[in-house]
Amino acid sequence: MQTAEPQSVSAACWSCGASLPDGKPFCDECGKVQVPAENADYFAVFGLPRKLHIDLSVLEKNFYRLSRKLHPDVYAQSSPKEQQWSLDQTSLLNDAYRTLKNPIARTEYLLGLEGVVLEAGKSEDGKPKDSRVPPDLLEEVFELNMQLEEMRMNRKMGEDDPALRADLEKARTEFESQLAELDTSLQALWTHWDASLDGASEPEKTEIKDEIVALLDRRRYIRNLVRDVNEALES
């Protein structure tokens, strides 16, 4: 374990002195890895505009191209500081790629950049917070939980109830199709958001953000339901 020192942003290559745009991870002139920028934005890492619709093939191509330039394997025989920068730059690149290529993670990340604090993840004490049950699903969820409980009891007793199994499979199909619908809606919201960047008012943008947040909450809830059903059916 080691402690990294805080680094500052440079505007000239430390090695050959060529001028560099801020946040450029390597020098075009001499090819050397640069001091990582503080709080780099994942979109900027790939030279992408901060939009929700992104071209995944461009993302992948840039990921491979940058990996070849920055990876610690390339710097195995370099000075310790270059090795450290390469490590920091590559971990940033990998973190950025992992986040952006996943549509949900990308959406959440962009909302975060826009100052939205998501309910998702952990609360203060680090415990995962249960999302509220969407009101229109209350009845269904209540029934499903009863069935899941029954299924677990059966398993404990070593019994199998084909009718119950069929019900759960039906519920799973139902929720999975809801997930697919949500994903379609999410893409439509992406389009709205990306378009709003061309001069929409702040209240308009806030409205889109709120819609996305609500959709993500619902999606997370349903995804957890599907996970629970899968666990009950598989184990």
Partner 1 sequence: MAEARIVGIDLGTTNSLVAFMQGEQPVVIPGEDGSNLVPSVVAMPDPKKVIVGYPAYPYLASTPDRVIYSAKRLMGRGVEDVQQELQLFPFHLAPDIQPGEVLRLQIGAQQYTPPEISAYVLRQLKKNAERYFGAPVTKAVVTVPAYFNDAQRQATKDAGRMAGLEVLRLVNEPTAAALAYGLDRQKEGVVAVYDLGGGTFDISILKLHEGIFEVIATNGDTHLGGDDIDHLLMAIALDDIRGDYNLDLRANAEAVQAIRKAVIEAKIALSTSETARISLDLPDGTPYRREITRAQFEQIIQPVLDRTVGPCKQALKDAGIKPEQIDEVVLVGGSTRIPLVRQLTDEIFQLTPRGKRPHTELNPDEVVALGAAVQAHILEGGSKATEDMLLLDVTPLSLGIEALGGVVAKIIQRNSTIPASATEHFTTGVDGQTNVAIHVVQGEREMAKDCRSLARFDLKGIPPMSAGLPRIEVKFLIDANGILHVSAREQRSGKEAEIEVKPTYGLTDEQVETMILDSFDYAEQDFAERQLIEARNEADTILAAVEKASSHPAWQQLSNDERTQIGMISEELRVLKEGDDLKALRDGTHALDEATRRFAELMMDSAVASAIQGQTMEAAGEKLGEGPTAPHPFAPAEIK
Q: Which stretch binds partner 1 (CB under 8 A): 91-99, 173-181, 198-206, 210-218?
A: 91-99
Q: Which stretch binds partner 1 (CB under 8 A): 82-90, 152-160, 182-190, 213-221?
A: 82-90
80 interacts with partner 1 by CB under 8 A: no
Minimum distance from residue 213 beta carbon to partner 1 (Å): 21
DSSP letter for 37, please: P
| C-alpha triplet 81, 84, 86: angle, nearest 5° | 110
Smaller CB separation from partner 1, 127 or 156: 127
3 interacts with partner 1 by CB under 8 A: yes
62 interacts with partner 1 by CB under 8 A: no
Asked whether 100 and 46 are in contact (CB, 8 A), the reply is yes
Handedness of CA 42, 45, 48, 53 (dihedral sign): negative
Q: Count each helix (H run) and each strand (E run) in the chain, helices first.
A: 7, 0
Minimum distance from residue 77 beta carbon to partner 1 (Å): 7
Smaller CB separation from partner 1, 51 or 220: 220
Smaller CB separation from partner 1, 110 or 189: 110
Q: How many CA atoms lie within 13 A of 37 on its CB side?
A: 18
- Using alpha carbons, select from 17, 20, 50, 206 the residue that is nearest to residue 115: 206
36 interacts with partner 1 by CB under 8 A: no
71 interacts with partner 1 by CB under 8 A: yes
90 interacts with partner 1 by CB under 8 A: yes
Size of the site for partner 1 (CB under 8 A): 27
87 interacts with partner 1 by CB under 8 A: yes
Smaller CB separation from partner 1, 47 or 121: 121
220 interacts with partner 1 by CB under 8 A: no
Contacts (Cβ under 8 Å, ≥6 apart) of 4: 84, 88
Asked whether 100 and 42 are in contact (CB, 8 A), the reply is yes
User: Phi first, then psi: what are they for 23, rounded to 5°?
Assistant: 80, 0
Write out the binding residues for partner 1, residues 126-165 only, by CB under 8 A: 126-128
For 131-167, b where at least 16 C-beta lie within 10 A, e where not — what string? beeeeebeeebeebeebbeebeeeeeeeeeeeebeeb
Write out the binding residues for partner 1, residues 94-133 only, by CB under 8 A: 94-95, 97-98, 122, 125-128
Q: Which residues bind partner 1 (CB under 8 A)?
A: 1-4, 6, 64, 67-68, 71-73, 76-77, 87-88, 90-92, 94-95, 97-98, 122, 125-128
